[in-house]
Homo-oligomer: A and B are copies of this chain.
Amino acid sequence: MKWVKNVVNKMKEQEAYLEQLFEKYEIKFKAVADKQRLQIMHVLTTNGSMSVGDLMPKMDMAQSKLSYHLKILLDADLILKETQGTWSYYSININSVNHLLSEELCCLFRPANK
């Protein structure tokens, strides 16, 4: 019966779609599942664009460690990077954060929240 096959196929498609989706969100949620990275995001929110060197004292973190965490946030598309010569400037990706977190939470990562 043709329609049975069609239904089964639809279900398989749906499953594959969800699996992909969950994988994507796993990466994003892993990125925010660390208080140090949440702190980085918060510092970038309140200070705007910052170089790794600027972040080091604010986070009290060694350079290689900071680079490691920044890469995770960048791979999850939660922050943006702009290279200028030998400097790397990072900033929050508000758009991406808004699509991921609840409104009340986003407030924490919105510039100049009062």
Contacts and interface: CB of A to CB of B under 8 A. Distances in A.
Query: How many copies of this chain sit in the oligomeric assembly?
Result: 2
A33 B29 contact: yes
Interface string A32-51: 11110011001000000000
A26 interface: yes
B32 A25 contact: yes
A24 to B, nearest CB: 9
18 contacts: A19-B35, A22-B39, A23-B35, A26-B33, A26-B34, A26-B38, A29-B29, A29-B33, A29-B34, A30-B33, A32-B33, A99-B102, A99-B104, A100-B102, A101-B101, A101-B102, A102-B102, A102-B103
